[in-house]
Structure 1
Amino acid sequence: MSTICQTKIPVALDWTIEKYQLNDLRVPGEDKIKIHSGKFNASRNPDISYSISIYSYGNEDRRRGQTWIYFLLDFNNGIKIEANYNIVIESANFSYFSKHVFEKSKARGAYCCITDKLFDPKKGFIVDGELTVKMDGFLMVEKEVQQKIDKFGDHRDAVCLGLWEQDNKDFALVADGKEITAHKWILALRSPVFAKMINSGLKETQENRVEIGDFSFDIIEKAIKLCYHPSLVGATTLEDKMQLLQFYDKYDMQSFKNDLQDCLISKCDVTNVCRLTNAALISNALKLKTKCSKFLHGCLRSQPISDFDLLDKDFALNLLKSAFCCVSE
């Protein structure tokens, strides 16, 4: 069974060009002169690369005497990409924003200026002998993938699958006006918090039910089914996993929490590391927090990070401070 998968990938590029490299743009009579930036893989994905080019058009083209800036995407077949990007030359107050769907490798560009004006000191394109072009944005990558059952671990006994089919479940969990039932002993076995609740003699024990207000019914249903067997749940989204991590932390389900941390670590990349970090902080998931911290340190100087502004402010401040620390080998 296949499904369409979408991935958001941040892209950014800072390109400084020496004036002598630009001089060829003013060569008269040439049809087209190009200057290319380096090519960069999107989130280290070898299937997708991006770059910027500057074109100067000569007498044989309808755009003669003009300079254009292009954004280029190069990728394999079977992928569709929606690119949202902004190209800026700050010193000349030039900005070009584009949103375009690429179904094949292609370049998209915009008029920048008359080529002669590119070299005019009053226009501000070249400052101290350099032209600086910046680009940032993100790619929404869409491709077809094979869907498979998602597991957090293999330690759960398959006999629990048969228990789930039984009609003698004796404890209800309620949220959003809906309820799911489970065996008390299964809940007590999986969670010390549920065990204490069930044996407390309080309202929950007497009524054999508990209302949970800080998680959606969908997350509670997934968490309870996972107490029996992972095949009862099937595929889960990254957001589901982060919510489940919080559930496992609150109800002290350590084996589940450890398995899920390993699962999330394996899925960590530049598009989700900030959200995973926040989830780790909320859920007291030390292993996930440590891995995310190391990943972020490695990204700070090498590639753009998606949703950095969403990162917990205190954590982000400490991260930036630590980036300047000396490291002893």
Structure 2
Amino acid sequence: MNSSFNEIVCPFEAEWKFHKADLLDLKNSEDGCLNGKCCYAYNIPGLKYFVAIYINGNAKGSCGQTWIAFHVNGSEDRKVTAEFTLSVESANHSKNLNYVYEKSIGHGTYFCKTEKFFNSKFFVNGELTIKVKGTLKTERPLISKICAPISMQWKVKEADLKSKKESSGCLYSKRINVASFSGVKYYLAIRPKFIIDENESRTQLCLHLSMEKKKKIEAVYDFSIDSANFNCGSQYVYDKSKGHGLRLYSTEDIFDPSKKYIVDGYLTINLNGILIAEKNQLFTSISENDIEPKFNLKILAAKSVIDAKDFKILIDENEIPVSS
């Protein structure tokens, strides 16, 4: 199926593997859910998707039932039509689904009773494999956009985390330049102890953008901590230099060895995502006011005073040599 002038079509095929031991930890929890890693549509900027398993259901009336859902970050501005087949070959389970995502949400199917789920042959070598194959369709945007992928692996020392826990302070990663976005850098910040109230504190993880000039940049991104089988995503529109992120697990969880966030003295955080900006705000035409008065080409040409063979134009502190 090919894209048309007014519509983008993205065929996809992906699979996610879940360990039985990780799912067992959620067996007795209310609304217990485990997310798979995020994938990104190759030709629809900022569109991400993943599979999630709800061990005891995800709504009233589904307690004791295991559901599998396919999540897509649709929105009112960009509705996404998904036609897909969700399958678990080891269980001989397959379901064809069709859904229009008008917000970031999951849509899926009842799999089996929770009790049967763990007493079955659905797991092969201790893993459950879920496959999804289909197409994602959305309207083509009217305004041209520029995209830039972002990624980082940040290893944070346990000793540094404990130090910031006592002071409720932040740790910061290195800054990375975005090659296709002039003057834009990104970096991560983690606050081990973000105080909610006197009885609760959580770990806060943020993606920061630094801009030399004001722009409007949308970030669609996800964090993962593989050792703890943790995956979580977000999206946000930055209009100035700032940070945005999530209040994740409790402060105590991060230092609990059984949770496996910290391994061999390090918390390893993975970032993946994409930055999106309108093309016209990154590449604009040069106006009379953008050029130094002494090199105003319009005035110089009108007065016929360009006598030198070589001269320079200064734009945004960058010199451009010009030869006659």
Same fold (TM over 0.5): no
The structure with more radius of gyration: 1
Instruction: Judging by fraction of residues, say which structure has more helix.
Output: 1
**TM-score, length-normalised on structure 2?**
0.40
**TM-score, length-normalised on structure 1?**
0.39
